[in-house]
Amino acid sequence: MAGKDKIGWFNIRKAVDSKEGFFGMIIDKPFWGKGHGKQAMKLIEREAKKLGIKKLRLEVYDTNIRAIRLYRRSGFRQTAKLIEMEKRI
């Protein structure tokens, strides 16, 4: 099926009682550099607006330079440093 292949995913979560939302996105490596991230960002923003979201937030690893460039070109700016923690149980 041309045009129907899955190339990654994204999700949008709306904060409870808020106009803020959080999203995540992954484009599978074989599809990098083909404009899919840019298209996905437009779709994410359109869908977030439909949900009543006025501010989108995301997290990205500082080593993911490609994604950081995409987000900056899409109008995002860094607002915080994040500490990631885990515990094996």
Structure tokens at 70: 């995409």
Backbone region of residue 48 per phi and psi (left: phi > 0; alpha: psi in -120 to 50; beta: other values): alpha
Specify the CATH number for 8-73; select among 3.30.1360.200, 3.40.640.10, 3.90.1570.10, 3.40.630.30.
Answer: 3.40.630.30
Structure tokens at 40: 């996905």
What does pTM read for this prediction? 0.81
Chain Cα centroid distance, residue 9 = 9
How confident is the model over 38-57, as pLDDT tens digits? 999 999 999 999 999 999 99
Domain layout of the chain by residue ranges:
8-73
How confident is the model over 16-25, as pLDDT tens digits? 888 999 999 9
